[in-house]
Amino acid sequence: MTPAHPAKDPTMKIAALQMVSTPSVERNLAAAAGLIADAARQGAVLVALPEYFCLMGAETDKLAFAEPDDGSGRGGPIQAFLSDQARAHRLWIIGGTLPIREPGHERVRNACCVYAPDGTRAARYDKLHLFAFDNGRESYDEARVLEPGAEPVTVVAAGLRTGLSVCYDLRFPELYRAMTFGDTAPLDLISVPAAFTYTTGRAHWELLLRARAVENQCHVIAAAQGGTHENGRRTWGHSMIVDPWGEVLAVRAEGEGVVIADIDAERQRQVRLQLPALAHRRL
């Protein structure tokens, strides 16, 4: 159960951080630190990192670098980095994803951890839907090394009731409906850290993000991997922030950078007042 909203500012800056991550955790954390600092200087109160921000190498690397969850939110160097960055810059961090191993499990979870400005972990969501794709030229099957999470997770971050999801989850609108109608209030923000392939991203990324924003009448923040990685994989990028009417407020096509926008609580209220679709839901 998500706690009641604290009062929301009428407008606030949020930032999606686009990366082109490498097989080196050390280099990736350094790159993420620079982007977080840049977003903080621009006035962001909440930043989101992409899926696998800490590691883009071979699939088996997720097993080698998986961290435990000891309940402190600092169970390994990647988790400690996110905690320290949130506290150092006094902002909310939606920490993309990192591999977390459950005791006694061979496969790992693709976990999104959210940290509050005091460095405490506010939420952990494990990716529910595992990506598989094979068009004869590209082949992916996350279930080889990952195991799925068990349930949806929401968190109030920067006063925004935020639904957590990861990459392939974007294709399953029922996940967001469960978060919207399974609690005391609709979502204010959907977070989608991703590493969409170039092929699937070009076809569906923006379409799906804008659809999720429109049908849930909330903002969407989508921090993505965007470029050609050292392991040869090419990701689509196009990190973006979308408003409740489906308008793209900010986007970056490829390459490392900060995608920042003001989100407006009054704009969201007006959309829901003028077109009360959430109140009209029957199923």
What share of the chain in percent tops pLDDT 70?
96
Residue given tokens 């991203």 in the structure block: 201
Residues 164 and 126 sit within 8 Å (Cβ to Cβ) = no
Residue 10 has pLDDT above 90, yes or no: no
Cα(66)–Cα(109) distance, rounded to whole angstroms? Answer: 9
147 three-state secondary structure: coil
Residue 218: CB atoms within 10 A of its CB come to: 27
CA atoms within 13 A on the CB side of 260: 18
Residue 272 is inside which H or E element, if any?
helix 265-274
Is residue 12 very low, low, confident or very high in pLDDT (cuts 50, 70, 90)? Answer: very high
d(Cα 260, Cα 38) in Å, to the nearest integer? 10
Q: What is the DSSP letter of 213?
A: H
Look up the CATH number of the domain holding residue 236: 3.60.110.10
Coil, helix or strand at residue 46 = strand
140 within a domain of the structure (yes/no): yes
Phi/psi region, residue 222 (left: phi>0; alpha: psi -120 to 50; beta: rest), is: beta
Catalytically active residues, by annotation? 51, 127, 167
Q: Which residues contact 63 (CB under 8 A, 6 or more apart)?
A: 99, 101, 107, 108, 145
H or E, element range at 264: strand 257-264
- Domain-embedded: residue 31: yes
Asked whether residue 47 is domain-assigned, the answer is yes
Bridge partners of 257?
Answer: 18
| Distance in angstroms (rounded) separating the CA atoms of residues 23 and 233 | 12
Q: Given 3-state DSSP classes, what are the helix, strand and coil percentages for the chain, each rounded to the nearest 5? A: 30, 30, 40
Task: Flag whether pLDDT at 118 surpasses 50.
Answer: yes
Let me know if residue 4 belongs to a domain. Answer: no
**Is residue 116's pLDDT more than 90?**
yes
151, pLDDT greater than 90: yes
Q: Which residue shows structure tokens 């071979």? A: 58
Is residue 44, in this structure, part of any structural domain at all? yes
Phi and psi torsions of 133, nearest 5°: -160, 135
Residue 116 lies in a domain: yes
Domain hosting 266: range is: 11-278
Q: What are phi and psi of 221, to 5 degrees?
A: -120, 125
- Look up the pTM and report it: 0.95
Is 143 inside a domain boundary?
Answer: yes
Tally of domains in the chain = 1
SS3 170: helix
Residue 2 lies in a domain: no
Res. 5 pLDDT band, cuts 50 70 90 = very low
126, containing H or E segment: strand 121-126
Average pLDDT over residues 240-254: 98
CA 134 – CA 219 distance, rounded (Å)? 32
260 falls in which pLDDT band (50, 70, 90)?
A: very high
